[in-house]
Amino acid sequence: MPSPSQKARALEALHKEIRKCRRCPLWATRTQAVPGVGPPDARVMLVGEAPGRQEDVQGQPFVGTAGRLLDTLLSSVGLSRGEVYITNVVKSRPFIGPPPGHNRAPTAGEIVACRAWLDDQLRIIQPEIVAVMGRVALEYFFPNRKISEVHGRALAHDGRIILPLFHPAAAFHRQELRETLKQDFLKLGQLVRARSSRRSSRARLAQAAPPMKRKERSRRAQNTPG
């Protein structure tokens, strides 16, 4: 298991590579690539679709209006931005029209070009829970699932939990999704607390194990023929 410092170095090196990426035509129209932000040993990763205009300018994910809603939703379940790693499937902003243009969904080719970056982020950070926000992020893990059918349900994938959520930006177009997002984030909070409780139980067992082993060694020594 890599140490936190090893993870930090590996993630920073990966971020540098992402910022130089020219694997798809989006590099020519972006202000900058947006690799991701958060601790390298985060137990929770949030994955969105692609950077928007504000993210493209500032170089960080979820810093616009959807980002402010995301912060509120995280806070409602006892989490902060500083505790989770946040990124997108696509690392450069897709848009239509003359600059600054309007945000659009990434194409299949753009998603394929960026796929290896998210693969590497998952490998380095090794999160226990991945909250996928929106259709594009869900399809990265489950190509045949629909967000409307599985949102708020914990799904297993490669040894970790995937929690599908509606994208926060969707709540600005469909007001009824705000309450849905609140309820689905409650599920995220429950999953985090359950995992934390499980780790605490394992730690207590580990602390109790050495004395038991010493007793066993002592008992064996007493029963050994002189």
Q: What is the mean pLDDT of the chain?
A: 92
- Residue 226, pLDDT > 90, answer no
Question: 80-126: per-residue pLDDT in tens?
Answer: 999 999 999 999 999 999 999 999 999 999 999 999 999 999 999 99
CA angle 49, 171, 164 (to 5 degrees): 50
More confident residue, 205 or 212: 205
Angstrom distance (rounded) from CA 60 to CA 155:
28
What phi and psi, each to the nearest 5 degrees, are found at residue 64? -90, -155
- Residue 216, pLDDT > 60, answer no
What phi and psi, each to the nearest 5 degrees, are found at residue 47? -120, 120
Report the pLDDT value the prediction gives residue 210, as an integer from 0 to 100.
Answer: 64
Class of domain 10-223: alpha beta
Say which residue the tokens 């949102």 belong to.
151
Tell me the percentage of the chain whose pLDDT exceeds 90: 84
Report the pLDDT value the prediction gives residue 215, as an integer from 0 to 100.
Answer: 52
Report the pLDDT value the prediction gives residue 53, as an integer from 0 to 100.
Answer: 97
Question: Is the link from the previous residue into 100 a cis peptide, with omega within 30 of 0?
Answer: yes
Beta-strand ranges (E) seen in 102-143 are 102-103, 129-133
Report the pLDDT value the prediction gives residue 23, as an integer from 0 to 100.
Answer: 97
Nearest to 59 by CA among 82, 83, 27, 92: 92
Tell me the percentage of the chain whose pLDDT exceeds 70: 90
Question: Residue 214: which pLDDT band, with cuts at 50, 70 and 90?
Answer: very low
| Domains in the chain: boundaries | 10-223
Angstrom distance (rounded) from CA 174 to CA 82:
28
Kind plus residue range of the DSSP H or E element containing 196: helix 177-223
Angstrom distance (rounded) from CA 103 to CA 94:
6
- CA-to-CA dists, residue 109 to 26, 59, 105, 106, 114, angstroms: 11, 22, 12, 8, 9
Which of these ranges, 51-60, 77-86, 178-187, 190-199, has the smallest mean pLDDT? 190-199
Say which residue the tokens 């994910």 belong to.
61
